[in-house]
Amino acid sequence: MKNEVSENFISDYDKEIKEIADYTVNFSKFSDLSRETAYYVLLDSIACGILALKNESCKNLLGPVFGGSNIDSGARVFGTNYKLDPIRAAWNTGCIIRWLDFNDTWLAKEWGHPSDNLGAILPLTDFLSLQRINEGQDPIKISELLEFTIKAHEIQGVLALDNSFNKVGLDHVLLVRLASSALSSYLLGGDFEDVCNTVSNAWVDGSSLRTYRHAPNTGSRKSWAAGDAASRAVHLAWLTTRGEGGYRGALSSNIWGFSDVSFESKPIKRSQAYGSYVMENILFKISFPAEFHAQTAVEAGISLHEMYKDKLDEISKIEVETQESAVRIISKTGPLYNYADRDHCLQYMIAIALIYGKVEANHYQDEIASNPMIDSLREKMIIRENPNFSKDYLAPNKRSISNSIKLVFDDGSKSEKITVEYPVGHRNRREEGIPLLIKKFEDAISNYYSKNQSGDILSFFLDKEKFLNLTVNEMMDKLIIK
């Protein structure tokens, strides 16, 4: 039994906090691949936000609160005409990037979406750029924004490699708040000590429960949880600028620290140094707005649609092999009550792929969900873990996200087993995926903005050299509604 007597002396910051702060403040050795990939992450995140702005339930949560209004020199929210304080702008930006479950992904012992951190970084760099211009200083360059993005990805992703917060019921947006708080503190002029202060407060916050991501409670909070984490991170960083201190034993304190309270008294582990590994290996969600563990299942389902779309009513059984993580978090039977329930149901996504030969955001709406064929196919699915898929999912040299599907028909005949090991957005399929990512961006911009504005955006953003010469405020000038 642990000693419950508290010794009242001030120690140094927990090493995990110091390591995050040291990386945030001092790291500068970015690989060329990480810089290039960060450019595509930014394009992809903007596309996701623009697509989400067509969703009324998302738009309903945006803007100022309680009758507030735009503020002079406020942070802009792309795709809108909002100008807000950076804390509220982080909520707005984080919500739209994350809303459709279509932005980039990182899968390890913990899961998550590192581009969620752009919810904090993008409006804060815009706000600071406008401030600098007013003070006669140089604004922040796009090249600098990409470096901040690489760092946020790295903090979130490296911590996810060895620490499974989901297994103790905590949600992965904890890592968004941690990474965004570190970068926000640094952007606001924080030194090593300031970043330690801010990050320690992020740990003290604990984490929201994963309740809203799982049956029977799946709901739309999963679409705004990242915006909430991003805005909280900016708030914590702002508090540091006002003189608020940190908590040196936020993780390790006996009884009261994060590890004892929230992590079954286990230490936070880190098996590799912070660098640019996560950005180099990030998973893009290019083809389907669907929970990432199901991406390859959807691709397999679409292949089977092409061959058997006229025999769906003759199917007696659908055999699905997947990874342990998918079995645990998105395999569900019974009624599905809302959009969030459906886009986190492996069986639903496979059924949509088999029926329609594609999966789009509107397929999770009530109108499509009322198709009786969907539940008929769901009831015929047998979901099994393939141990090799689970092993390769965590293998550093693979990090695959495999799924296989085989159809069995009433007459006893069977389809071939379709196995897809890597989704289009995986690094192993990057050459195939980038043109599709660019098309995703082009379609989102062209279908949202006026012809003149969309043409201007595309001419600058898709010319990498021209784009990197922009400043953050110039980029936002092009993306706001005029």
- Please check the confidence at residue 4 and state whether its pLDDT lies above 80: no
Over the stretch 368-401, which tens digit does the pLDDT of each residue have? 999 999 999 999 999 999 999 999 998 988 989 9
pLDDT in tens, 317-345: 999 999 999 999 999 999 999 999 999 99
Render the burial of 427-454: b for 16+ CB within 10 Å, e for the rest: eebbeebbeebbebbbebbeebbeeebb
Torsional sign, CA 214, 219, 223, 226: negative
- The reported pLDDT for the residue numbered 1 is 43
The answer to whether 103 and 115 are in contact (CB under 8 A) is yes
Beta strands of 6-107 (E only): which ranges? 75-76, 83-84, 106-107
| pLDDT at 3 > cutoff 60 | no
Q: Which of 82-101 are b and which e, b meaning 16 or more Cβ less than 10 Å from the residue's Cβ? A: bbbbbbbbbbbbbbbbbbbb
Map tokens 């563990």 to a residue. Answer: 293
Place of tokens 């960060």: 38
pLDDT in tens, 163-205: 999 999 999 999 999 999 999 999 999 999 999 999 999 999 9
Does residue 7 carry a pLDDT above 80?
no
Domains and CATH numbers, the chain: 15-280 (1.10.4100.10), 292-423 (3.30.1330.120)
Can you list the alpha helix ranges (DSSP code H) found in 357-414?
366-369, 372-379, 387-394
* pLDDT for res 5: 56
Per-residue pLDDT tens digits for 410-451: 999 999 999 999 999 999 999 999 999 999 999 999 999 999
The conformation of residue 352, written as its DSSP 8-state character, comes to H
Give the closest residue to 351 by CA, choosing from 421, 412, 304.
Answer: 304
Q: What is the pLDDT of residues 279-307, one digit of tens each?
A: 999 999 998 888 899 999 999 999 999 99
Nearest alpha-carbon partner for 183 in 142, 205, 206, 155: 155
C-alpha 284: how far from chain center: 10
Looking at residue 443, what is its pLDDT? Answer: 97
| Distance in angstroms between the alpha carbons of the first and the last residue of the chain | 64
Give mean pLDDT, residues 228-234: 98
**% of residues, the chain, pLDDT over 90:** 93
